Amino acid sequence: MVYAVIGCGYGDEGKGLVTDYLSSKSGKNLVIRHNGGAQSGHTVEIDDKRFVFHELSSGSFRHADTLWADTFMPDLYKLQQEVEEFAQISGFTPNIYASKQSNITTIDDVLMNMLIEQGRGDNRHGSCGNPCG
């Protein structure tokens, strides 16, 4: 079975919870991360475990693998911290795969975005410092 979980309200729609639920209903799953990057945040709570997923899929508690589509912009520096924190909570490290055409967010991208945001002065819009922000 293939599902597409799509949101158009720019967050807080429950995409993470829906993905977790769908991942709990079948055996081995692959969740494809598309569009965005480390600035995303999908919160999932299971029993006493709570985690905000940024680059791992929100099906990870259910042992779903993560695939980064070529439109996803992972930040490998932030990924290490996320994987370590998730492993402490869950007791395992999920599998992550990437499209051959994947790009990554570099420190140059982050710094450039931060400079652009600072240059806006009073017109700042709250960019998170990532190129997708």
Q: What is the DSSP letter of 56?
A: S
CA 116, 122, 124: angle at the middle one, nearest 5? Answer: 40
Instruction: Collapse the DSSP code of 117 into the 3-class scheme (helix H, G, I; strand E, B; otherwise coil) and give the result.
Output: helix
Name which of 109, 110, 113 is nearest 125 in CA terms: 113
The C-alpha atoms of residue 37 and residue 57 are separated, in whole angstroms, by: 11
75 is catalytic: no
65 is catalytic: no
Name which of 100, 26, 33, 112 is nearest 63 in CA terms: 26
- Considering the candidates 20, 34, 42, 122, report the single residue annotated as catalytic: 42
Residues marked as catalytic? 12, 42
